Amino acid sequence: MHALIQGVILGVLTAGVFALMASGQTLIFGIMKVVNLAQGAMVILGAYLSYQLFTSFGLDPFLAIPVTTVIMFALGVAVQWLFLRPLKKDDRSELSLLITFAVALLIEGVMSITWHTTYRSINTGYANSSWSLFGYQITLVRLWAFLLSLAALGLLYLLLNHTRFGRAVRATVQNPESAKLLGIEADRVSALGFGLGAATAAAAGSVYGLLYPFNSGSHYDLISKLLSIVILGGLGSVGGAVLGAVIVSTSSAVVAATISPAWSEMTFFVILIAILLVRPQGIFGTTVRGAL
């Protein structure tokens, strides 16, 4: 029982980080119907940027987030503008898979040249600090990572629901032609939306670097997890991404703690298949164009 509860605690705390990564992925899909295969590579690039700022300037990864998110936002806007915007609307869904995969490989190449392929980790002074609460261990880094992810998701929620830009994003997702007739420029919204997705990847990357060792090829593992999360939650739903992350992360941690770590990685794929058999559109997916 102790191992089970410890697993749940670990899973929920880790879920925040994956929810943040996946919210960017699902946002991009919601706006443009693009499955961004480069999201994992963007997370790892965010982790490397954070690593570099920490090793070169001693900047704490949490404090580096405003810097890395701005850089990655600009990168996201550039990727959308240069590679996705020229695609014809009818071909976008299919061709964007190839293009974002190519972007992922490009980012991986740049990371390999710049930082080589050795595994890196960000070791802050508090990396191994933990609290004991009723006999359960809570590592400080995971708790901060969880709280930061909650704050970032809260900001994303406020941005989407209480700003002019957020209304434009939701309008474009739900009825692109009508949005255009109201003066909303879909290309601009798409570019900013892609930038926002990349910025969430950067924030999640800084935290990821604190929790796990990474190298330039780590994005392959990440993208399979991220796709599972967004499909599980329902493509295009931010709420679904959060729930998907909680399910994936908690089930993996519980299986690792109670059965064997060897089984934990495949646990969420089993859950994914089981849920999709019952609900093919995912938990929060609808047949109506997205509510985000």
Partner 1 sequence: MAPILTLDSIVAGYGAGDILKGVDLQIGAGTVTCLIGPNGAGKSTVLKTISGLLRPRQGSIRFHEQELKGLSSKARLRLGIVHVPQDRSLFPAMSVWDNLLTGGYTIRDQKLLRERVDRAVEAFPICAKRAREHAGSLSGGEQKQVELARTLVLDPALILLDEPSIGLDPKSRQQVFASIRQLAATGRTVLLVEQNARSGLAAADYGAVLESGVVRLVATGADLLDNPEVGRLYLGAAAR
Distances (CA, A) of 223 to 78, 178, 281: 21, 33, 19
Please work out the total of residues on this chain that contact partner 1, with binding judged by CB under 8 A.
Answer: 21
Q: Does 178 bind partner 1 (CB under 8 A)?
A: yes
DSSP per residue, 205-220: HHHHHHHS-B-TTTHH
* List of residues 6+ apart from 48 with CB closer than 8 A: 111, 114, 115, 120, 205, 209, 214
Q: Does 175 bind partner 1 (CB under 8 A)?
A: yes
Closest contact distance (angstroms) between CB of 174 and partner 1 is 4
Q: Which is nearer to partner 1, 94 or 185 (CB)?
A: 185
Which of 82-90, 179-187, 220-228, 275-283 is the region at the interface with partner 1 (rule: CB under 8 A)? Answer: 179-187
Residues 142-171 that bind partner 1 (CB under 8 A): 164, 167-168, 170-171
Pick from 133, 177, 260, 277: which binds partner 1 (CB under 8 A)?
177
* Nearest in space to 47 (alpha carbons), one of 175, 166, 202: 202
Q: Which is nearer to partner 1, 75 or 292 (CB)?
A: 292
Q: Does 88 bind partner 1 (CB under 8 A)?
A: no
Which of 116-124, 175-183, 201-209, 269-277 is the region at the interface with partner 1 (rule: CB under 8 A)? Answer: 175-183
Q: Which is nearer to partner 1, 118 or 162 (CB)?
A: 162
Cα 144 to Cα 65: distance, rounded to the nearest angstrom: 13
Q: Residue numbers of the site for partner 1 (CB under 8 A)?
A: 164, 167-168, 170-171, 174-175, 177-185, 288-292
